[in-house]
Amino acid sequence: KKGDTVGSQVNYTIVGIDPGAGLMKATNKAIQDYQLNDWNLLEGSGTAMTAALDKAYKANQPIIVTGWTPHWMFTKYDLKYLDDPKNSFGGSEEIHTMTRLGLKSDQPSAYQFLDKFNWTPTDMEQVMAGIQEGKKPEEAAAAWVNDNPDKVNAWIEGVPKAPAGQKLKLAYVAWDSEIASTNVVRAVLTSKLGYQVDMLQVEIGPMWAGIAGGDVDAMVAAWLPTTSKDFYDKYKGKFDDLGANLSGTKLGLVVPKYMNINSIEDLKK
């Protein structure tokens, strides 16, 4: 009976994020793969998605969101990924660091540190938790850098300081995971290596275009091999891929544990 289905309870809506995100593309693929013909994917932003989740969760209401790991929402709420037997969301990925071509020779100090920057999902979650508790992103990043001298020192070991007044431009998208990572990278570049760093908040397309066009020096937000594939392929040869700075990500449809469904296939009923 219609009124009893999950679909009718959530108005056949999956709460999405910014339209350019790879997660949105994967969700549209899932809608196709599982033939969720009646369903809509709501466009918005990461912030709007977590606000909707918070509201539904506090009211004990059903909700389905597009989610990813690492993310603070799994610590704050009891949530579960819906099983994805058709593998629409792909497997675990890496997040890569990308620089513009030429950074290696122009700004070897920044390049050497960026090349060594590598941390774990738990590290990133600690920064996100600080922000979630009310710290400004730059404060949470500075606190993490302060609390993790061994990791930070390994990233900058043997890396010379920048010449006085050297500037660096980082691009990022306002996803909570990338707000955390980009702020930590900036904190190290400024407090340890003497750079003046500009952080440019943009959409995913301009982030990649900025790196490929040389207007932006670096970013730490390339989810590969799948989530950012379109941009990776589009600009191939026009950026320097410094490899993974984190591994062990996940994407999928996420619901509160109090919901009585376990698989994307349950959305068909």
Residues in contact with ligand PBE by the rule CB under 6 A: 17, 21-23, 68, 175, 177-178, 204, 223, 227-228, 251
Shortest distance in whole angstroms from residue 191 CB to ligand PBE: 25
What is the spatial distance between Cα 229 and Cα 227, in angstroms, rounded to a whole number? 6
User: Shortest Cβ distance from residue 197 to ligand PBE (Å)?
Assistant: 21
46 vs 130 by CB, closer to ligand PBE: 46
Are 20 and 205 within 8 A, CB to CB? yes
How far apart, in Å, are the Cα atoms of 197 and each of 61, 169, 220?
43, 6, 14
| Residue among 162 and 222 whose Cβ is closer to ligand PBE | 222
C-beta closer to ligand PBE: residue 17 or 261: 17
Residue 81 exposure: Cα atoms within 13 Å on the Cβ side: 16
CA angle 205, 236, 174 (to 5 degrees): 25
The values of phi and psi at residue 179, to 5°, are -60, -40
Strands of the sheet containing 196-201, edge to edge, are 196-201, 167-172, 218-224, 94-100, 239-247
Q: How far is the C-alpha of 214 from the C-alpha of 173, rounded, in Å?
A: 17
22 or 130: CB nearest ligand PBE: 22
State the nearest-atom distance from the C-beta of 222 to ligand PBE, in Å. 8
Helix (H, G, I), strand (E, B) or coil at 209: helix
Omega cis (within 30) before 163: no
Q: In 10 A of CB 66, how many CB atoms?
A: 24
By C-beta, is 68 or 117 nearer to ligand PBE? 68
Nearer to ligand PBE, 224 or 255 (CB): 224
Work out how close the CB of 177 gets to ligand PBE at its nearest, in angstroms, rounded to a whole number.
5
Shortest Å distance, C-beta 139 to ligand PBE: 22
The distance of closest approach from Cβ of residue 217 to ligand PBE in the complex, given in angstroms and rounded to an integer, is: 20
Q: What is the DSSP letter of 2?
A: G
CB closer to ligand PBE, 68 vs 195:
68
Residue whose C-alpha is closest to residue 118's, from 206, 241, 244, 231:
244
Minimum distance between the CB of residue 227 and ligand PBE, rounded to whole angstroms? 5
